[in-house]
Structure 1
Amino acid sequence: MKKLSILFLLFTIICQAQVKPTIDKNEVIRIETELASDRMQGREIFTVGIDSASVFIEKEFSKIGLDFYGDLKNYRQEFEVKNKPANNVIGILKGKSKPEEFVIFSAHFDHLGTKDYGTDKIYNGANDDASGVTAVITLANYFKELNTNERTIIFVAFTGEEVGGFGSGFFSKSINADKVVAMFNIEMIGTESKWGKNSCYITGFEKSNFGTILQKNLKATSFNFYQDPYPSEQLFYRSDNARLAALGVPAHTISTSKMDSEENYHQLSDDVSTLDLENMTEVIKSIALSSESIIKGIDTPTRVKKLRE
């Protein structure tokens, strides 16, 4: 009897060790629907709507149990833009053996706000970029539960991307770029890419081996990362990854957006009903899996050439 009890205990321990946390589609839907709701009033910087979005993200970070960034006393990194208050939302998971090496997951939570006339007056920004922020929140929960990060993970929702990248600009001045190993910036992942399901692209793919590492970690799956198919759009320099990339960080944006035919881009019609939430969930799962060797300190992407030497 005693022998059977020991065997059962060992079996239970092995089973528990093999169970990974999951990224739940219902949670993706819940978070995405709230961020893109009319209550957020289009999340334009300097408005009540974007403050509501900030409060929501802060509550999610608190519920997950993330720590505060740097010397902050809460999840808000506050600053001013043209003498007006603004804030990023930041939470961290401290690394176990390499706490001074940072991996960043980011997205911007601001959008275009409202217009003064018409039946539909709210730019909900479901794909741009509530989808990316949804990914950041669900990834934070995933890595908190996984609890295997040797490097410190920073989860940040930037403000001001739509009006000049003010949030990422301020953040880049608050961190030692030499300690940032990689940045996963997530922008518009709510629609299928030009290759269909189970695929997305990485901006600046050729500028480091970041994408090669991610694809290697997905070799047992059917998911594929591709090079940016829209080089003329200069997407590598048009999102929040650009500020840290300019400092040499392998900071890249992951997206599925068809920039030559995305009919809801910056339109009032960019709402939740236009998204493929099942595919979006799979994209988030693949980002999680593809990042594991970097999170665990096994792989270190090569640096991007600095814009300012």
Structure 2
Amino acid sequence: MKKYLALLSLGVMFYACQPSSETSNSESSATPEISEASLQKHVETLASDDFQGRKPFTEGETKTVNYLVDQFKAYGLEPGNGDSYTQDVPMVELTASPSEVMTVEGNGQTVELKVLDEFVAYTEKVVESTSIDASELVFAGYGVVAPEYDWNDYEGLDVKGKTVVVLVNDPGFASGDSTFFKGETMTYYGRWTYKYEEAARQGAAGCLIIHETVPAGYGWSVVRNSWSGASLYLDQSGGAYQPEILGWITRNAAIKIFEASNVDMKNFAARSRSRDFKAVSLGMNASVSVTNKIKRDQSKNVVAKITGSENPDEYIIYSAHWDHLGIGPEIEGDSIYNGAHDNASGTATLLGIAEAMVKMDKPKRSVVFLAVTAEEQGLLGSKHYGENPIYPPAQTVANINMDGITTFGPMKDLTVVGYGQSELEDIAEEIAKKQGRYIIPDPDPGKGYFFRSDHFQFAKVGIPALYASGSYEHMTEGVSYIDSLNKIYLTSQYHRPQDEISDSWVYDGMALDGALMMEVGLNVANSANWPKWKEGSEFKAIRESE
């Protein structure tokens, strides 16, 4: 472990003393090391049972926010929101209780689906109860309207008052054609959030997404755990139209419905990727109800900053989400979803960078440290920030996001999620080389990780964003070692109480990644240049319109 830190220290100090490759006025003093001991302390504290899984609106939130504020104060960082270290995020908590059975009738047959085992259902409407009653089911393929790809699954279709059944991911997935949408790389059209947004725009009464593990990127247990119990939403009174019922059904449940219908639904996924696909009524009607317990409250983003010495009104924002799932269904005798990897690790790295950077000479541009709430509920804290920015997006140079930083040891790779999006990855690649590392694209682009963490909300308002970490090849143990550990995490720990600290965890890899991210921020903060979105990025036009 120590030999990697020695190499790290030399590499980082060498890089920090070099001028930027893009500008000659980038200067930095030798960089203090990110403390492994501090990283470990932060993870152990944030992921402890005492913090109750860090869910917003709980005692766990109060303890987490107080801890983060206290750390920023102790380091000597300034308040990031005027004279406050927090930003209020008004939210509503809806505890949905769906009916035990979803009934689907038609073609002389009845299909009954069991809640949690075969479907989940909820509503984003702030109402005590709602339902769909004998709502006509329409299979709408991937549920995508994408003019730039000349694709419209809703063309000529009126789904007002009806319930659409759609596939997860987008038509490019498993098509074998890298030019069709983005091939195996998921676009935003593949995300479940988009499916519901489009169904709402079309005026549907309900939207049911067919879950499949490979195109979704996670198993049914994740769906079941994430949409049972209380869920949080931004409290936006008088907001846009919402369907009455939103939900997921298993693939087997979908097949039951298709087999009961009078429509030939063989090879439904492959047929939905054809440009000849036309949405079709299944001749079946669905009924399900949801009752809600409603609670309104304020959650908190935590924000601190270092004011720039020369360009204080230009900003680099580091982000990480502090929240997890709280206390939930018991699994293997444990009900506290500690979220040690997701995302005590990223929050600890944010704190580690802040602690190290504040000891340096002030950067030329301002650097902001933003720990956001409610990522697990749909990127809500970062969404609220994007819609109510403390620092104008047009003056925000870059976002560097940390979500799930390795505790398996030092990595030879730096895996960039959303590779090819912005010039930030080029800066990161140069720094990685100085650490003796290489850069690779996300090996699983079809899982849509670029749209599943908080950097996406910065990208949506045009801010170039970097989301990267070592996650593919261990420095000494290789690829297969990390692959086996990642599989264990995804199948038995992710979004489960088993995401907790292990005696096998080490923190030198976290320090290595933290040092790299710190150097990316320092490069941008001390440069006169503005990193740009690359050609082909869907966010380039947003930035250029500012």
> TM class by shorter-chain length?
0.7 to 0.9
* Alpha-carbon offset, residue 30 of structure 1: 0.8
- Contact 1:104 1:184 (8 Å CA) reproduced: yes
TM-score by length of 2: 0.50
Distance 1:219 1:257, change over 3 A: closer
Select the residue among 499, 505, 514 that pairs with 1:270: 499
Query: Where does residue 327 of structure 2 map in the other structure?
Result: 114
Matching of residue 74 in structure 1 with residue 304 in structure 2: no
Select the residue among 349, 364, 369 that pairs with 1:150: 364
Query: Where does residue 102 of structure 1 map in the other structure?
Result: 315
Mark the structure with the bigger radius of gyration. Answer: 2
Letter in 2 for 1:247: V
Letter in 1 for 2:365: R
Query: Where does residue 9 of structure 1 map in the other structure?
Result: none
Matching of residue 26 in structure 1 with residue 33 in structure 2: no
TM-score by length of 1: 0.87
Map 1:275-290 → 2, pairs under 5 A: 275-290=505-520
* Alpha-carbon offset, residue 180 of structure 1: 1.1
- Contact 1:223 1:286 (8 Å CA) reproduced: no
Select the residue among 342, 352, 357 that pairs with 1:128: 342
* Alpha-carbon offset, residue 282 of structure 1: 1.6
More helix by share: 1
Select the residue among 422, 439, 444 that pairs with 1:208: 422
Matching of residue 89 in structure 1 with residue 302 in structure 2: yes
- Segments of 5+ residues of structure 1 without an aligned counterpart are 1-16
The alignment partner of 1:95 has SS state of coil
- Contact 1:198 1:282 (8 Å CA) reproduced: no
Q: Distance in 1 between matches of 2:444 and 2:335?
A: 30
Select the residue among 337, 343, 355 that pairs with 1:141: 355
Distance 1:20 1:243, change over 3 A: closer
Map 1:25-44 → 2, pairs under 5 A: 25-44=36-55
Letter in 2 for 1:236: F
The alignment partner of 1:105 has SS state of strand
Select the residue among 439, 443, 462 that pairs with 1:229: 443
The alignment partner of 1:27 has SS state of helix
* Alpha-carbon offset, residue 18 of structure 1: 6.4
Select the residue among 137, 156, 168 that pairs with 2:382: 168
Q: Distance in 2 between matches of 1:198 and 1:158?
A: 29
More off after superposition, 251-260 vs 36-45: 251-260
More strand by share: 2
Q: Deviations over 1:183-227 (max 9, x none)?
A: 00001012459xx72433222221111101111234322133322
Q: Distance in 2 between matches of 1:162 and 1:18?
A: 37
- Contact 1:43 1:53 (8 Å CA) reproduced: yes
Map 1:9-24 → 2, pairs under 5 A: 19-24=30-35
Q: Distance in 1 between matches of 2:366 and 2:357?
A: 11
- Segments of 5+ residues of structure 2 without an aligned counterpart are 1-27, 93-295, 473-482, 534-538
Query: Where does residue 398 of structure 2 map in the other structure?
Result: 182
Letter in 1 for 2:37: N
Q: Deviations over 1:47-81 (max 9, x none)?
A: 1112111110110000011111243x321111211
Q: Deviations over 1:244-285 (max 9, x none)?
A: 101111112223457972332212111121643221122112
Letter in 2 for 1:48: E
Q: Distance in 1 between matches of 2:439 and 2:359?
A: 25
- Contact 1:215 1:290 (8 Å CA) reproduced: no
Letter in 2 for 1:182: A
Select the residue among 192, 199, 219 that pairs with 2:433: 219
Letter in 2 for 1:57: L
- Contact 1:36 1:271 (8 Å CA) reproduced: yes
Percent identity of equivalent pairs: 28
Matching of residue 305 in structure 1 with residue 540 in structure 2: yes
Q: Distance in 1 between matches of 2:506 and 2:441?
A: 22
Distance 1:68 1:156, change over 3 A: same
* Alpha-carbon offset, residue 307 of structure 1: 6.1
The alignment partner of 2:359 has SS state of helix
Q: Deviations over 1:145-194 (max 9, x none)?
A: 1124111001010001000111101111223111111100001012459x
